[in-house]
Each structure stands twice: as structure tokens, then as C-alpha cells.
Amino acid sequence: MSPSYKIVNQVFVIVLDDPHTRNALTIPQFVQLAELLELADKHPHTTATLVVGRGPMFSAGANIKTVAELKNKTSSEILSEISAKNLYLVHLFTSHRKLLVVGLNGPVIGLTASLVALADLVYAQNQKVFMSFPFTNIGLTTECAAAVSLPHRLGLSTALEHVLLAKPLSAAKLHELGLVNRVFDLDDCDAFNDQLANMLTKELVGLDRDTIFVNKRLMRHTFDTQVRAQALQETMSGVADWTANKPQTAFDEIVAGKRKHKL
């Protein structure tokens, strides 16, 4: 199921709702997410954009079927099918004018986790939430500027440990380090998503919309500049991994039970 959206007062809510795949996104679905972010940015009456998920996970990252279709591709094909879209997503996340909020209803992995690290505010539904960046498990360089965003938001030592050793980060740890703003204690994802939309609606009352946008841009300027530069470097490094079929082979071995992993 494609990402969808709804408007709740001043909040533009984007919903990932494909629980059968654990919200593992195909390339077309990542493009649809990008298009919704653009739509949210241009909406004349909203102040915040909230991205939420339904089902057991926020997102399992890239869909395995998508990865399987990328075998034996040329550099030009990889640049077109993956690299350009990753850069586009980073651009949209870092240039989004409005307050960009993510509500993690469950674990988030890989590419999607890298995008979450670019949000302004992040909330977790409960202590079952975790973030995982298993790039070394699948023979792939970091994506969507995780090599900059994670050291910035977690600290260099913690980021190195959890990226290089592919160790998941618990909700409690993410909250302690400041990447997650608050961990709720809710069992139902719909109740969590509704509570977030209502909470943001209340918190935006009495605040000047344009000043939110200006202050956000000023506060994020240095970070966003570094992220965009790093995203380009990661993209160029990642092309070699994809053309060598490293992640494609790794996913095949994981599915076949031939490779130990931390996904």
C-alpha cells in the first residue's frame, strides 16, 4: 500500500501503512514519500509535518524485492534508480520548511532509519521501539547522510559503535542521547498516532508560523549543509557496492539463512 496523508488542523500527517511488508518501502514508494513531503511543504495552512507508521514496525527499510531487482546493474543504472532518489530524499528532509516530526510506532531499520535521523522531532510509541543501521551487515556504505547525522545526534563514539558493529539502539538509549524527544507508553499505534497529532495541534496554538520556519532554518543551517555534502560522498561510495552486488548478495544469503545478521 502506498503512503497516504491526511490533514489534522495544522498538522499534515503522512502515514506508512503496509504492515504485511512491515512498511519496507519499494523504490516507487520512496518516491511517493518524497512527493508527499513536497506536498506537505507547500500546503498553505499547515505548520507541522508528521510522519507515522501503522503495524508492528515503522519501517523495515528497503523492500527486499527492490534489492533483488538491482542485481547486475551498471553504474549509470544505480545512479538513476537509487542514488538520485536518495539525494532527492535528503534534499527534501533538509529543506523542509515546516516542523518535521516522526512518530515511531515500532522499530525502524536501514535507509528509513537514516531519514528519521534527519527529522526535527522524534517520538517513540513505547520501549519496544529501536533503530538499527545494519549497513556493515549487508556490505553497504551508510546512506542518506547517516555518517554525519548520527555522530551529530548521538555522539561520535556511540555512532561508531552502533553503525560499524550494526548494534541496534533502544528507545531508552535514543531518548537518553536526545535523538528521541519522548518515549510514550502506548500499545496501539493508532492511539499513538492520534495522540501525536493532537499534541502537536495544542502545542502550535499561539505560536507564530513564519517565525517557526525562520528559526528552524537558522538553527539547522550548519547541520543541513554538512548533511547535504555527506550525502553526495556516500552516494558515490555506495555506487561501487551496488555494482559489485554486495548488498544484493547479502540479502539473498540472509533470506536463505546463510548469513548471520542483526536486522
For residue range 111-142, what is the model confidence (pLDDT) as tens digits? 999 999 999 999 999 999 999 999 999 999 99
- The Cα–Cα gap between 140 and 150 comes to 16
Q: What is the mean pLDDT of residues 140-168?
A: 97
Q: Report pLDDT for 263.
A: 58
Q: What is the pLDDT of residues 46-87, one digit of tens each?
A: 999 999 999 999 999 999 878 878 899 999 999 999 999 999
Query: Which residue's C-alpha cell is 513536497?
Result: 38
Given a cut of 80, is residue 260 above it in pLDDT? no
Beta bridge pairs of residue 170: 130
- Phi and psi at 5, nearest 5°, equal -145, 160
One-letter amino acid of 241 = D
Q: What is the mean pLDDT of residues 102-109?
A: 98
> Could you tell me the residue ranges of all domains in the chain?
4-187
- Phi and psi at 23, nearest 5°, equal 55, 35
pLDDT interval class at 262 (50, 70, 90): low
Percent of the chain whose pLDDT exceeds 70: 98
Candidate from 11-15, 107-111, 135-139, 162-166 with smallest mean pLDDT: 135-139
Given a cut of 80, is residue 186 above it in pLDDT? yes
Find the largest Cα–Cα distance for the chain.
57
Q: Report pLDDT for 250.
A: 86
Candidate from 65-69, 166-170, 178-182 with smallest mean pLDDT: 65-69
Asked whether the CA dihedral 30, 31, 37, 43 is positive or negative, the reply is negative
Overall fold of domain 4-187: 2-enoyl-CoA Hydratase; Chain A, domain 1 (3.90.226)
Contact status, residue 110 vs residue 133, Cβ threshold 8 Å: yes
Residue 138, Cβ density class (10 Å: 0-12 exposed, 13-18 middle, ≥19 buried): buried
Contact status, residue 109 vs residue 143, Cβ threshold 8 Å: no
- Prediction pTM value: 0.95
CB neighbourhood size of 132 (10 A): 21
Q: Report pLDDT for 255.
A: 75
- The mean pLDDT of the chain is 95
The answer for residues whose C-beta is within 8 angstroms of residue 41's C-beta and 6 or more apart is: 49, 92, 95, 96, 97, 98
- The Cα–Cα gap between 105 and 86 comes to 23
- The Cα–Cα gap between 24 and 61 comes to 5
Length of the chain: 263
Contact status, residue 126 vs residue 187, Cβ threshold 8 Å: yes
Q: Report pLDDT for 192.
A: 99
